[in-house]
Structures are given as C-alpha cells and as structure tokens.
C-alpha cells in the first residue's frame, strides 16, 4: 500500500500560484511531487490546486455535487503557445472500472461506487474543459514516474 502524505506546500515561486500561496495543501506524496514540478518548471506560467469547481451529477444519489480537480495549469506548449489544462492525480487502478466479481463483497461495491462517481466527475471535467478550449488529464504513477 502506498504511503499517503498530507501537508502544506510552500512554493519557491508564489507569483505563479493561482490562489492563496500560503494555503496550498497536498493530500498525497504524488500531489506533492507534481506541485514541486509545477512550481519549478520554466514553461509553467500559473498553476493552482483545487481552485476550480465543476458541478456534476452523482450516479449514487442523482444529486448535483461539486468536483474540485486537483490542479489547473497554464503553460507554454512545444509550439510556444499558451495552453491550460486540468489535472487529476489518481492511482492507475482507480482509472478503470473494477473487474466484475461473482460475489458482491462490500469492498467490490465500494469500488463500483467510487468508479461511478469518478467517471461522472471526469465526464463533467471533460465537458467543462471542452467549453473553454482546455484539456483534461488524469496523472497516475506512470505519468508521475513513480515506481509502485
């Protein structure tokens, strides 16, 4: 099982942070790794953590809820153009539906519910980004270069 660290992040480049740079919270070592990268990378113009709210309908209760994607990043791309992306950080095993099981265990039911909510959030995020000309990405241990 991965170790999950939580804490406050103090940026070296607070002028790049979109939001209050004294209140940046990371909820995992993976988020911390990405924060360090975004804070330091020369092509990143601005970034924020949980600064965007996207409404989505939960498949569990049918109600509208609020989704806070992990990161918003504006950077200069390979063609020298400015682009904005929303990034969600998740373990790879949470980025696809759980494998069907014959026995309905409470763990399996929780995994199915989690997948359903995540899928609803990500569909809402894709539409939100499409409307603005942004992109949406899910970063796993693979994209973050984490051996797991």
Residue 121's SS3 state is helix
- Residue 36 CA to its chain's centroid (Å): 15
Catalytic hit among 16, 39, 70, 88? 70
Q: Give the active site residue among 31, 39, 88, 121.
A: 31
Mapped onto helix, strand or coil, the DSSP state of residue 73 is strand
40 catalytically annotated: no
88-113 burial code (b ≥16 CB/10 A, e <16): bbbeeeeeeebeeeeeeeeeeeebbe
Catalytic residue (one of 90, 113, 119, 141) = 90
* Short-list 25, 129, 36, 134, CA closest to 82: 134
Active site (annotated) includes residue 39? no
Catalytic positions, please? 31, 70, 90
């Amino acid at each position: 099982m991965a170790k999950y660290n939580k804490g406050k992040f103090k940026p070296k480049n607070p002028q790049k942070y979109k939001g209050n740079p004294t209140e940046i919270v990371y909820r995992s070592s993976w988020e911390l790794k990405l924060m360090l990268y975004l804070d330091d990378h020369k092509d990143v113009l601005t970034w924020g953590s949980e600064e965007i709210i996207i409404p989505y309908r939960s498949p569990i209760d049918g109600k509208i809820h609020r989704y806070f994607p992990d990161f918003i990043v504006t950077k200069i791309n390979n063609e020298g153009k400015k682009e904005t992306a929303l990034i969600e950080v998740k373990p790879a095993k949470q980025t696809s539906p759980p494998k069907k099981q014959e026995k309905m265990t409470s763990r399996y039911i929780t995994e199915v519910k989690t997948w359903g909510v995540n899928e609803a959030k990500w569909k809402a995020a894709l539409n939100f980004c499409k409307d603005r000309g942004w992109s949406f990405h899910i970063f796993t241990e693979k994209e973050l270069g984490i051996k797991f």
